A = this chain, B = another copy of it.
């Protein structure tokens, strides 16, 4: 959907387990974490947008072929139940990303099946849950994902994520975070895979009200807009057998469209 008047169709996927099982999480996120993330995108979006949600316990985790085909950008938050996500659904989501659907992976989603599948690495990291101050610094000041946020974003209490973060070298690094304990983390990372754009953003944890933070919401809203497909028709890059050598300059052999 390249027409900026057509609403961007965002689907916020949430695991929705901590909210059911832990009272203090439910208190922080009465509409679920997915509810808070969806509300934040709607609040901070700078373009026309439609936001829906889906969760692990929905049939097919709410990620049927029909739903994905009607989604421009998917956001992903999961933590304790990564293993319960079916491989068949992961296959399907991967195919849609490679065919052009945007994907925004949040916080503990670094260990989700879909992120590890797209990265090819362990996606492991260092961590400590000690309610530390996180500062999110912009190192690509003109990147659209960094528009409208302070330098740094101040998050009063957060789980610490630290290096080494075992991911491929990113195509672009937008944010770096530091923590009160002195650690550093590459916290805002851009990847392109197939025809899809992927953004990983580390702030966000079930134990802190991070998804109510205005600046965190703005980054996620920026990211879903940035990740929107450049093409209207979704298509997976495919093996193409080319016919015999062409006489490129002949008028009869007009080249095909690039996309």
Binding site for B on A (CB under 8 A): 4, 94, 98, 100, 111, 117-122, 124-128, 130, 132-133, 135, 137-139, 141-144, 146-154, 156, 160, 162-166, 168-169, 171-173, 176-178, 180-184, 186, 191-195, 197, 229-231, 236-246, 248-249, 254-259
**Cβ contact within 8 Å between B137 and A183:** yes
Residues of B within 8 A of A192 (CB): 142, 168-169
How far apart are A216's CB and chain B's nearest CB, in angstroms?
14
How far apart are A119's CB and chain B's nearest CB, in angstroms?
6
11 interchain pairs (CB within 8 A)? A111-B239, A122-B237, A128-B244, A130-B245, A138-B259, A139-B186, A141-B164, A152-B248, A178-B184, A181-B245, A182-B245
Residues of B within 8 A of A126 (CB): 239-242
**Cβ contact within 8 Å between A132 and B245:** yes
**Cβ contact within 8 Å between B168 and A178:** no
How far apart are A93's CB and chain B's nearest CB, in angstroms?
12
Most buried by B among A120, A178, A254: A120
**Cβ contact within 8 Å between A137 and B184:** yes
The answer for the CA separation of A148 and B132 in the assembled complex, in Å, is 30
Which B-chain residue is minimally distant from A116 (CB atoms)? B120
Which B-chain residue is minimally distant from A124 (CB atoms)? B239
Most buried by B among A119, A142, A186: A142
The answer for the CA separation of A138 and B236 in the assembled complex, in Å, is 16
**Cβ contact within 8 Å between B121 and A194:** yes
Which B-chain residue is minimally distant from A160 (CB atoms)? B242
**Cβ contact within 8 Å between A168 and B142:** no
How far apart are A209's CB and chain B's nearest CB, in angstroms?
14
The answer for the CA separation of A237 and B126 in the assembled complex, in Å, is 10
Which B-chain residue is minimally distant from A195 (CB atoms)? B142
**Cβ contact within 8 Å between B133 and A182:** yes
How far apart are A86's CB and chain B's nearest CB, in angstroms?
17
Which B-chain residue is minimally distant from A162 (CB atoms)? B242
Most buried by B among A127, A144, A163, A243: A163
